Structure 1
Amino acid sequence: FDGPCGICQHALTYRLCHLSHPPPVSPSGPVQVTKVNAEKERVSLRCMKALTSRGGVDAVSQQMASHPQYLESFLRTQHYILHMDGPLPLQYRHYIAIMAAAQHHCGYLVSLHSAQFLRVGGDPLWLQGLEAVPPRLQHLDQLNKVLAHQPWLTARSHIQALLKTGEQCWSLAELVQAVVLLAHCHSLSSFVFGSGTDADPVPLHIAPNGTPPGYCLCDAANGNVSAPPPLTTPSEHTTRRWVRAVGCGLYQTEYDIGQMIYSADPSRFITDPEFGYQEFARREEDHFQVFRVQDYSWEDHGFSLVNRLYSDIGHLLDDRFRSVTALPSSHGPDLKRAIWNYIHCMLGIRYDDYDYGEVNQLLEREMKLYIKSVACYPDATKIPLCPLPWAPLKPSERIHVNLLIMEARLQAELLYALRAITQYMIA
């Protein structure tokens, strides 16, 4: 993937690293690959540090910047599903993101995508709530709710209801992109709450793709451009005035330095506020069977299906999963595997070849409580977030834990949704 300028769109791309700092030409081999990877990470980190210090990245990217190679993969995927070619119009994409984030009362993402929804020409009246949007988007609410809180309930009937013939039906390609957006924003809400990003404001002067307009990542890394205004909260002495977009419920705080901050109420996009996560393992209903990865896995089933119905997204998602599991950790790969499998287990997904006794051996009780809070009910308005234990952890390691939670949850939702789509297609 390359941005329009071939170098510096929203994502820090491999193309960026090679164009701005091409690796030396020499015989290939393990040593050379290691050197190239180290150089790539060094340049990516320098780009992110430059932009972060100049206020050129959003709060989520600033949190992830300690893992630049993962951040590159994350931004590339997010840019693709929100801004690149796809069956859904841009207004629909940002509104679906609003719907997904609202399920966890994630004000940061709801406000961010509300602002971007208006930037791409969205109807302000839609921001009044779901009752103001076309029936097609209203029909997506049930699938959104189920995937967010109890993904094991996702069934062929949900897919069939959305794809039925009629003026307000979805195409299969549109639905697949919508599912990817929902899962992406649900899991990102977990990261936002886990990292404390939800307390940050959403500035207007950040461009829709996450970097200041005309701001080149390569130039930022090399220090060749003047810095944009910093993303600091305006001081109490700064003059401000409140502005409400007529009829849409989106508020702007406008400051005399030219900065405006959006805020929106997530509750207006929720139709069933009482619906939430329930313990899968304690359910008495016998018709909710465990999802066995040996029967339907990302590698053997989900990847090929989503990549066929939504071109290239499978490769981008797969790169995210590989990037997060490849991040170095002082606690070793067994702990990362325990976190991943524990999250999937809470969502009804089991691995026949894994000894789940390792979860209790490797994860302290406080760590399990934290993981469960972030993964299953990150909405801080309902259950206070248990603090992340392991005080000696470096900030980058704490971020690593939250990234693992986000990606494991993302894959779990995709597995349930894609399995339901597969069942619909073969029925």
Structure 2
Amino acid sequence: MGYHKTYLDHFLKTQNFILRGDGPLPYDHRHYIAIMAAGRHQCSYLITLQKQEFLMQRGNPEWLKGLDHIPAKLRNLNDINKILAHRPWLLNKCHIEKLTKGKDSWSLAEVVHAIVILAHFHSLSSFVFSCGLNQELDQLAGYHQYATETALATKTSSNSKTKPKDIPIVEPCEVPEWKTASTPPSPTEPEVGINTLMQRMKTLSEQRQECKPEELAKRFENIETQSAEIGAVGSESHTVPSADIGCYVEDPGFMYIDFAKRDDTQDITTFRVQDYSWDDHGYSLVNRLYNDVGNLLDDKFRTAYNLTYYTMGSRTDVDTSRFRRAIWYYIQCLFGIRHDDYDYGEINALLERTLKAFIKSATCYPDRVTKKDYDRVLREFHYSEKVHVNLMVLESRMQAELLYALRTVNRYMTN
């Protein structure tokens, strides 16, 4: 994240607030909820960090033996955790009611605080895996990112006691030449080059024809159906979590399924942003129940969505907004979320199949992403630009989870 200083600042402020700032949940509970969230994607990197934080907050070491050793109140969060992580469209009022009624009940403010932590660490797991940060601690090259075998060229702080905000920063233009060399193209999967991509963006911007609402809806459905046909990268078989992770995971076989393949008997319709959006609904609700977090989340979402250096690989002065928007909306389409005013036909024009497969895997099956998958996409882009794409996966996914969760909380409060 140090490649993108503006974003990093918002990220650190938000994470610091939800884990250490004012809020209804005790500090040790916050870190344990983070462990439960990271467990859904078998993210040992985040689990290890949060176990350390949990103990620093004087959490009960017995709890680290697994879900069988925690209070019933925390254990009751399991259903919401797994649903939000993999199939957020299944969340309904009953899940909120189960937490807020009876013995070991939660307040609505506590529920919302927990939901924000869960969504944050689910989506952060996507970022960790898609940047290659999840190698085991005891491996020789533990926690290596995909970019390099040697350290990045960095601006290091002269202060030896490095604080979180003193993380070394690398500007996009400062990346060493060996770092940005494009990966050799695959003979079987030729990639759309940056010049072709720029031409397609230019063509789209010059088109003046307006699509009817029916046509826009049809194009969304086409993308939704096509996304179900794109397999995730890596192993298709479900891997059982290792014992040190599995102890924090209930029902490990509960995984993502394509929204287009959801069970029709559940009568789950497409989530239309015009009916419930972050700007008009989610932001105000989360701020009301959990003071100030809405402002921090909003700044973070906006920064990630609007972030640009007007570059694509070696090309400069490029308007990348269409490409960025296609990625953001494709991620939310994977969860059945539709923006009524967006032409989803642009996604097929701008995102090739290998990139869609990478984005789908990073979003829905992050633990399957490998360096080989990472190297196959965006070959002409700088490493910092690939990190930028992974930031959009993080934020668009988190916003999608929060939209479903906050809409459900709102329905519980009003009905």
SS of 1:121's equivalent in the other structure is coil
Aligned to 1:330: 311
Aligned to 1:131: 68
- Which of residues 236, 257, 260 is equivalent to 1:281? 260
Separation in 2 of the partners of 1:94 and 1:134?
Answer: 14
Residues 96 and 330 of structure 1: is their aligned pair in 2 closer, same or farther, counting only changes over 3 Å?
A: same
Aligned to 1:143: 80
1:186 maps to a residue whose letter is H
Residues 145 and 226 of structure 1: is their aligned pair in 2 closer, same or farther, counting only changes over 3 Å?
A: closer
1:162-173 → structure 2 map (5 Å cutoff): 162-166=99-103, 168-173=104-109
* Per-residue deviation, 1:276: 0.2
Relative contact order: is structure 1 or structure 2 higher (C-alpha 8 Å, sep ≥ 6)?
2
Residues 352 and 373 of structure 1: is their aligned pair in 2 closer, same or farther, counting only changes over 3 Å?
A: same
2:264 maps to a residue whose letter is E
* Per-residue deviation, 1:330: 2.7
Q: Is the 8 A contact 1:279 1:346 kept in 2?
A: yes
Q: Supply the RMSD in Å over aligned alpha carbons.
A: 2.3
- Which of residues 365, 382, 385 is equivalent to 1:394? 382
Q: Percent identity?
A: 51
Task: Confirm whether residue 189 of structure 1 aligns to residue 125 of structure 2.
Answer: yes
1:267 maps to a residue whose letter is G
Aligned to 2:288: 308
SS of 2:393's equivalent in the other structure is helix
Residues 355 and 306 of structure 1: is their aligned pair in 2 closer, same or farther, counting only changes over 3 Å?
A: same
Q: Is the 8 A contact 2:277 2:403 kept in 1?
A: yes
Aligned to 2:217: none
Separation in 1 of the partners of 2:378 and 2:80?
Answer: 36
- Which of residues 344, 350, 354 is equivalent to 2:342? 354
2:65 maps to a residue whose letter is Q
- Which of residues 387, 391, 405 is equivalent to 1:403? 391
1:316-352 CA-to-partner distances (Å, cap 9, x unmatched) read 0000011112211435100111001101111010011
1:272-330 CA-to-partner distances (Å, cap 9, x unmatched) read 11100001012241511110000000000000000011000000000001111221143
* Per-residue deviation, 1:385: 5.1
Aligned to 1:109: 46
Aligned to 2:200: none
Separation in 1 of the partners of 2:244 and 2:117?
Answer: 20
Between the two proteins, the alignment pairs up a number of residues equal to 312
SS of 2:134's equivalent in the other structure is helix
* Per-residue deviation, 1:226: 4.1
**TM-score, normalisation: structure 2:** 0.72
Residues 201 and 382 of structure 1: is their aligned pair in 2 closer, same or farther, counting only changes over 3 Å?
A: closer
Aligned to 1:341: 329
Q: Is the 8 A contact 2:7 2:304 kept in 1?
A: yes
* Long gaps (5+) in structure 2: 139-155, 168-241, 313-319
- Which of residues 223, 244, 265 is equivalent to 2:244? 265
Task: Confirm whether residue 294 of structure 1 aligns to residue 231 of structure 2.
Answer: no
Task: Confirm whether residue 175 of structure 1 aligns to residue 111 of structure 2.
Answer: yes
1:14-53 → structure 2 map (5 Å cutoff): none
Q: Is the 8 A contact 2:362 2:369 kept in 1?
A: no
Q: Is the 8 A contact 1:297 1:415 kept in 2?
A: yes
1:292 maps to a residue whose letter is R
SS of 1:92's equivalent in the other structure is helix
Q: Is the 8 A contact 2:37 2:121 kept in 1?
A: yes
Q: Is the 8 A contact 2:361 2:368 kept in 1?
A: no
Q: Is the 8 A contact 1:292 1:350 kept in 2?
A: yes
Separation in 2 of the partners of 1:327 and 1:200?
Answer: 32
Residues 336 and 388 of structure 1: is their aligned pair in 2 closer, same or farther, counting only changes over 3 Å?
A: farther
Deviating more after overlay: 386-395 vs 98-107:
386-395
Residues 267 and 200 of structure 1: is their aligned pair in 2 closer, same or farther, counting only changes over 3 Å?
A: closer
